[in-house]
Amino acid sequence: MNRCWRSNNRAAVNGLQQLMNVLRPIPWITGISYKSSKCYSCHHRINTSKLIKRRYHSEHGVYGYKPKPATEYQVPKDALEARIAQSNFYRLVTAYRDHAHRKANINPISIRKPRQVPELDVTRYGLRENELCNFSGILYGFKQEGTVGEAVEFLEKVYAGNISSEFNYLQDEEAREWFTERIEREVSGETISIEDRRVIAGDLLRCEAFDHFLASKFVTVKRYGGEGAESMMGFFSETFKLAAKDGVEQIIFCMPHRGRLNLLTGMLKFPPEALFRKLKGHSEFPEGAKGSGDVISHLTSSVDLNFDGRFLHVTMLTCPSHLESVNPVSMGKTRARQQLLKDGAYSNDPKARWSDKVLNVQVHGDAAFAGQGVNQETLALSGVPNFEVGGSVHLIVNNQLGFTTPGDRGRSSEYCSDLAKMIGAPVIHVNGDDPELVVKATRVAVDYQRKFRKDVFIDMNCFRRWGHNELDDPTFTNPLVYHIIQSRRSIPDLYAEKMVKEGIMNQDDVSETIQKHTLWLNNCLKSVDNYKPSQHYKKQWKGDVQAPAHVTKWDTGVNPDLLRYVAAKSVEFPEDFNIHPHLLKTHVKSRLEKINKGENVDWATAEAMAFGSLLYQDYGVRISGQDVGRGTFSHRHAMLIDQKTNEIFIPLNNLMPEQKACLEVCNSILSEEAVLAYEYGISITNPNILAIWEAQFGDFFNGAQIQIDTMVSSGETKWLLESGLVMMLPHGYDGAGPEHSSCRLERFLQLSDSSENAPDGEDVNLQIVNPTTPAQYFHLLRRQMIRNYRKPLIIASPKILLRLPAATSSLKEMGPQTTFHSVIGDHVANPETVRRVVFVCGKMYYSLAKQREEMGVKDMAIIRLESLSPFPTHELLQEVTKYRKAKVFIWSQEEHQNMGAWTYVRPRFENLIGCKLRYAGRGPLAAPAVGIGSVHQQEAAKVLEKPFSFN
């Protein structure tokens, strides 16, 4: 105890011995950090514990405590010093758990000198290596007592060798203690069994053989091979096996490019014939399927694996090349599968937990995980109600490069995995040169997830044998690192050599494994011409088709009695529920009055009736976004909050006894990209759920542009993945300034493949609409589920129309034999007197109609385009032919000329309708709207006047 850590002098220290004479009887003193005295030997100033000072003062009445007689304690001097030594030993052990990762040998291609970690210096804690300590309850998987030197050797192996971990920041004490014991017992315990080691060797050798085969047969292909990261195969094999053993039925799995083809054609049983067929320039789709396809590094598999009679279905998601963007999609898909299998909260078993049946596994790249913001959003989403999936198992394949940028220049944090600390997820760092330790790390990680149902990370440090792809020269920017890589042998070769030396395999076994796999690949290559891609629509998608090339009118109407019932139920609440008094008047009573009359049905009521009627037909409904429960404009109130208890009540989930389908109202985090991607994952998994993402304002979709470009708009043509996702984007120029006015219709229309040179059909990639009545909105939502195919639906949804008296509907418009109308004609003007026809979409119609009425104009017809994509050629032709005397055709919009639908509709009117359109609207502008109130008013007035000025 009375020792200077610098000199290790055990002589008395001036001033300290006298203090200890007073404190010696106190048995609970557990550690000393020194202050204010000098060592006799080196005169180094050392610390006296603040804790001791505080206790000393309190025992002697300084803080008002009555001092206790020393005779109460009577602890011998040797016992006290033993306790202090034991305490300091525990501090040393804790230091290893906190800091040893900084010196661990986890980098197989390090060009740095080993780091010194002063916190791990034994003398810092007043200990000697030959000093005896009690290990019981402090170290796990080790003997009960021994010397400090033996403990340090153990700690070096567990925390500072080829493996290390970070976990002491976990807020849950049980989790910290569990992880401590589990990692120490696993790393220090018995070696991997001979059978498992042979499996590891086989997986590594086949992985390498596959890369060599592709390199020799397809020399110019960018295959993003697994060379340098082959140990990831140990992670996959062990994860699948442990999950199956624990009763998991399905794994939803996403990963980037590197090593993807190795895993697909290996463990995931993707037919090499399909890969080779694609490499020879043929389509990956079955005959008759409409799609443009994708590159080989985005291929996927969905397969049943058998582990000793336990079947595990593994689904690898397709992915775009936008790094990490697939991760939230995998979580959404996991949640949808959990719902299908009655997992977690969807189970009737109150003891059921998330991921009992479905497990989410995510694989990341090191630079992408640290650099892509979607990862922060996804992790922030992982524990939120209505988004949680029971924790994911993460593997970071740490190549230590981002394209060509070294890791230390590609991030500001120490590790690429540091983002995991944001949600308190433990991280295991492991050297990819040691496949057995990768397997051990996997065992700990999977066990942690199964125990606590929380996220856990493995940071596998490895390397890329080649550059960003096999055609790239990495020595341009990383000469020192690639000098190491090019001068070393491969991981499979090194591990196979180790197995031979230990007598587990012989050289013939190694050669046979490689030759057998290579022969199999050769045979697959020879049979490419006979291979036929399998059909796509299976299981829950059976019966669905791709959209037809012709227009179909879908009867989406509902019996008025059922609509009244649903509407009444949508505002019904328990007797003891304390509803907000304002809602009781403006929401509950108002809705009941409207449905009783059958007139003046507003948007929120129409939406509730659409949701409820779908629930009645056993379709699930899920709406997510920021504050969607009440709605951005406080109009929806799909969930009610008890004003005294804060309890949530969702009326539509009490629609009928033993209701099968439910409405999920998912108030999300302040994120767009991850949340939209999550809902996309829901939509591509379960066609019987109406998945809706509502932006607070239309332009909020900007934060999710990657997902829109690479998945929502193109997922079907690239991967044959149908999605019925609905995006609701509040749109309208109300003087709110540049932001929050426009949902940028022009961007979605530019993404649309609705042709300007062909008849209209329903096989477009995006449905883009701007409805003007609640009935139209009602039919749109129902149509998403009633049809036998799925298409994304982009709705430019209203703001001021939500409460505009003119923008209401009757129950009759939603009754049987009614449907969504792509075009709404003019029912006021006399066709024989019309000289001008104005085409418009959205809320602009109501302003023009009011202006026409006030001006008493009789020779103008106003036609509404409710659907922009698919472009309603046939319906427009029918309307135009009514006005034989019309000479002027005008397009009116409130958006600026370089925005809105103008540039989209103009060529289509000319090529398909035969009309030369004249433009009436704002001029071009860099921003979506002006931010000066007086200018906005002037513009709004001119926009209204302009259509009436054409002759």
Of the pLDDT bands very low, low, confident and very high (cuts 50, 70, 90), residue 685 is very high
The single residue listed with the structure tokens 């003193």 is: 29
DSSP 8-state assignment for residue 635: -
Residues across the chain = 951
Same fold, 194-533 and 823-949: yes
Residues 648-659: tens digit of each pLDDT: 999 999 999 989
Predicted confidence band of residue 756 (pLDDT cuts 50, 70, 90): low
* Strand partners for 890: 838, 918
* Of the listed ranges 378-392, 394-408, 505-519, 750-764, the one predicted with least confidence: 750-764
Residue 761 CB contacts under 8 Å (≥ 6 apart), including other chains: 547, 548, 549, 550, 551, 870
**Structure confidence by residue, pLDDT tens digits, 521-535:** 999 999 999 999 987
Mean pLDDT calculated for residue range 902-930: 95
**What is d(CA 252, CA 679) in angstroms, rounded to the nearest whole number?**
15
Give residue 883's pLDDT: 96
- For residue 143, the tally of other CB atoms under 10 A from its CB is 11
- Chain segment 17-35, per-residue pLDDT in tens: 444 444 444 443 334 333 4
Q: Is the pLDDT of residue 13 over 60?
A: no
Residue 817 pLDDT exceeds 90: yes
CATH, domain 823-949, list 1.10.645.10, 3.40.50.11610, 3.10.580.10, 3.40.640.10 = 3.40.50.11610
Residue 781 has pLDDT above 60, yes or no: yes
> What is the β-pairing status of strands 456-461 and 392-398?
parallel
Return the half-sphere exposure (C-beta side, CA atoms, 13 A cut-off) of residue 659: 18
Query: Could you tell me the CA-to-CA distances from 131 to 27, 88, 127, 274, 380 in Å, in that order?
Result: 21, 12, 7, 65, 47
> What does the pLDDT read at residue 76?
59
Q: Of 25-39, 662-676, 806-820, where does mean pLDDT reach its minimum?
A: 25-39
> At residue 447, does pLDDT exceed 70?
yes
What pLDDT, on a 0 to 100 scale, did the predictor assign at position 350?
83
SS3 call for 311: strand
pLDDT of residue 814: 98
Please state, rounded to an integer, the average pLDDT across all residues of the chain: 90
> How far apart are the C-alpha atoms of 179 and 194, rounded to whole Å?
26
Long-range CB pairs of 353-357, under 8 A, 24+ apart, other chains included: 353/390, 353/453, 354/388, 354/389, 354/390, 354/391, 354/453, 355/248, 355/389, 355/390, 355/391, 355/449, 355/453, 356/247, 356/248, 356/390, 357/247, 357/248, 357/249, 357/250
Query: What is the pTM for the complete model shown?
Result: 0.90
What is the model's pLDDT at position 22?
41
Read off the pLDDT of each residue in 630-655 and give the average, rounded to a whole number.
96
CATH number for domain 194-533, candidates 3.30.420.40, 3.40.50.970, 1.10.150.20, 3.40.640.10: 3.40.50.970
- 400-445 pLDDT, tens digit per residue, is 988 888 888 889 999 999 999 999 999 999 999 999 999 999 999 9
- Beta pairing class for 427-431 and 726-730: unpaired
Q: How far apart are the first and last CA of the chain?
A: 101
In three-state secondary structure terms, 865 is strand
**Cis bond upstream, residue 792 (ω within 30):** no
Do the beta carbons of residue 688 and residue 540 sit within 8 Å? Answer: yes
- With vertex at residue 521, the alpha carbon angle to CA 519 and CA 527, rounded to the nearest 5 degrees, is 105
Residue 73: predicted pLDDT = 45
**Residue 758 — very low, low, confident or very high, per pLDDT cuts 50/70/90?**
low
Any residues with CB less than 8 A from the CB of 304 and at least 6 apart, and which?
311, 312, 313, 314
pLDDT at 30: 39
Q: What is the CATH number of domain 560-730+773-806?
A: 3.40.50.12470
Summarize pLDDT for 136-172 with one digit per residue, the tens: 999 999 899 999 999 999 999 999 999 999 999 999 9
Each residue's pLDDT tens digit, 342-389: 998 898 888 889 999 999 999 999 999 999 999 999 999 999 999 999
| pLDDT over 50 (residue 568) | yes
Alpha helical stretches, state H, 709-820: 715-719, 745-751, 774-786
Report the alpha-carbon distance of residue 3 to residue 1 in Å, rounded: 6
User: What pLDDT digit, counting tens, does each position of 43-67 carry?
Assistant: 444 444 443 444 334 333 333 444 4
Domain ranges of the chain: 16-171, 194-533, 560-730+773-806, 823-949
